[in-house]
Amino acid sequence: MSENTTALFEPFKSKNLSLDNRVVMAPMTRTFSPENVPNDLNVEYYRRRAAGGVGLIITEGTCVGHKAANGYPNVPFIYGDEALAGWKKVVDAVHKEGGKIMPQLWHVGSVRRPGIEPDPEVPGYGPSGLVMPGKKRCHEMTESDIADVIAAFAKAAADSKAIGFDGVEIHGAHGYLLDQFFWGGLNERTDKWGGDHVGRTRFAAEIVKAIRAEVGADFPVILRWSQWKQQDYSVKLATSPLEMEQFLEPLTDAGVDIFHCSTRRFWEPEFEGSNLNLAGWTKKLTGKPTITVGSVGLDTAFAEEGQKDFMDAKPASLSNLMDRMEHGEFDLVAVGRALIANPDWANKVKAADDASLAPYSKEMLKELA
């Protein structure tokens, strides 16, 4: 490897967010929080990445306070006294190491299946009751349901600020609830929450506005979005720069500070005729800072099309990444699996200590270290 990584370790500032470098720990669901409460194992997991040189940690998805928000066992919540107290310990540990940290606020929507905690009787919730295009199997959200979820996100952001988090990220990607509203395949509504790009974006925009009303104008708010969905890797919300601009404009106007643009391979261009990736196009169209992500520092994506099993991966060159960063294509770089394998990935890359970088193995997911 041994590329010039200077640009990756320059300071970054946006509003009240000041980072020592451009390395972001990507949110990764780990399911190591029994009873949905962060514990000492979680504290140490995040502390080690802060000590290892990460500029900003974005936590695993944390479920907001709505009865259908959770879709998996042992996922931490971002509501209730116990969970918030657990997160306060994480925040304090990260800050003690000089790092910054934000929770990812999450609602899984129609991905939820009956039998999941906290109330196994609660079904999945979705904009049109669809779990796949044309396949109804969950609760179709009413106006009251929509208001309740918006309020839950706003409350989670307010609580996050109160316990010392440095901002919040809203999970609007990968086929979860906000993304289900974005995607015409799962959003067949004909009211103000559906229809065109503006209607399908309205739900997320209202969440951003509600969060802003709770936390103020200067508290950093990131939105993570993706073209691909876990239900279908080939889906695109926008097939042209014009469609993407129409999609992003309401979110920008609502108050998003930074867009976290999730791809499976950061080096892939988003549209024909341009080498810009998703983060590059998002920055160009909105003027907002962006985070790129997708197999950074590794030689394979986490899974290939048509496969459900996660893949092992070896350390890979950062040359393409650094070239794009030096040309200002994006501002921050999120690292996922490489940070599971190497808690001190940032420090090792900065020191050009490539030889000691460990490969990633899916077996590493079996423990929190």
List Cβ neighbours of 43 (8 Å cut-off, separation of 6 or more): 86, 89, 90, 93
The tens digit of pLDDT for each residue in 294-319 reads 999 998 876 665 555 668 999 999 99
pLDDT computed for residue 15 by the predictor: 81
Residue positions counted in the chain:
369
Q: Domain-by-domain residue ranges, the chain?
A: 6-366
Query: What three-state secondary structure class fits 147?
Result: helix
Where do the DSSP E strands lie in 12-158? 12-14, 17-19, 23-25, 56-63, 100-106, 125-126, 130-132, 135-136, 139-140
Q: Which position has the token pair 């991966």? A: 313
CA dist 88 and 104 (Å) reads 15
Q: Does pLDDT of 32 surpass 60? A: yes
The pLDDT tens digits for 319-346 are: 999 999 999 999 999 999 999 999 999 9
How do residues 34-44 score in pLDDT, each as one tens digit? Answer: 999 999 999 99
Query: Domain 6-366: which CATH class?
Result: alpha beta
Catalytic, 176? Answer yes
d(CA 24, CA 312): 21
Q: Is 181 in contact with 199 (CB distance < 8 Å)?
A: no
Q: How far apart are CA 366 and CA 348, in angstroms?
A: 24
Q: Residue 335 forms beta bridges with which residues?
A: 25
Q: Per the residue annotation, which of 79, 176, 233, 360 is the catalytic one?
A: 176
81-123 tens-digit pLDDT: 999 999 999 999 999 999 999 999 999 999 999 899 999 999 9
Containing 19, the helix (H) or strand (E) segment is strand 17-19
Residue 234: is it exposed, middle or buried by C-beta count within 10 angstroms (0-12/13-18/19+)? exposed
Mean pLDDT of 216-222: 97
Is the confidence at residue 276, as pLDDT, over 90?
yes
User: Which of left, alpha, beta for 195 (phi over 0: left; psi -120 to 50: alpha)?
Assistant: left
Q: Is 294 left (phi over 0), alpha (psi -120 to 50) or beta?
A: left
Q: Is the pLDDT of residue 365 over 80?
A: yes
